[in-house]
Amino acid sequence: MCVPLRGAEGAARRPDGEPLMPPMPPMLTGLLLVVFLVHLVAFALLGLKRRQAYYLALVITFSLLSASMALRLTAPEAILANGVAWHEALRMLAWPAAAVSVGWTLLRLRIRIAARRG
């Protein structure tokens, strides 16, 4: 049974103290940070250029993911009062933002397909 106990690094741990998942290598974290920042800038510019609220969910998602990776690199030991690492909390907050973004994309696609048919 895996109980999400928190260690000093904020990683979820098994009852025996071992991490549930191995830590992410700093090089991979840095690469993900760059990828997320590129997406953030691209979608922010597209949103400003096209003046469509659709891009807001994407910007929020990539802002949260970028902040998560930056914190993982600079302050992985930063813990919230409930024992969750800050970088994990930001990543968890990105899930609903991503879900809104995917839903919005599917809705736009459905509208576009209906317009072509009708």
In 3D, which of 75, 101, 107, 105 has the Cα closest to residue 90? 75
75 within some domain: yes
Q: Model pTM?
A: 0.77
Count the domains in the chain: 1
Fill in the DSSP letter of residue 81. Answer: T
34 within some domain: yes
10 within some domain: no
Greater confidence (66 vs 16) lies with: 66
> What is the average per-residue pLDDT within 84-109?
93
For residue 65, give the H/E element and its range: helix 54-74
- At residue 79, the pLDDT reads 86
- At residue 21, the pLDDT reads 63
Which residues form the domain of 56? 25-117
- At residue 84, the pLDDT reads 85
16 within some domain: no
Degrees (nearest 5) of the Cα angle 101, 23, 35? Answer: 40
- At residue 101, the pLDDT reads 93
Q: What is the pLDDT of residues 7-60, one digit of tens each?
A: 445 556 667 766 666 678 889 999 999 999 999 999 999 999 999 888 999 999
Query: Does residue 90 contact residue 64 with C-beta atoms inside 8 Å?
Result: yes
Is pLDDT at 70 greater than 80 in this prediction?
yes
- Percent of the chain past pLDDT 90, that is, above it, reads 63
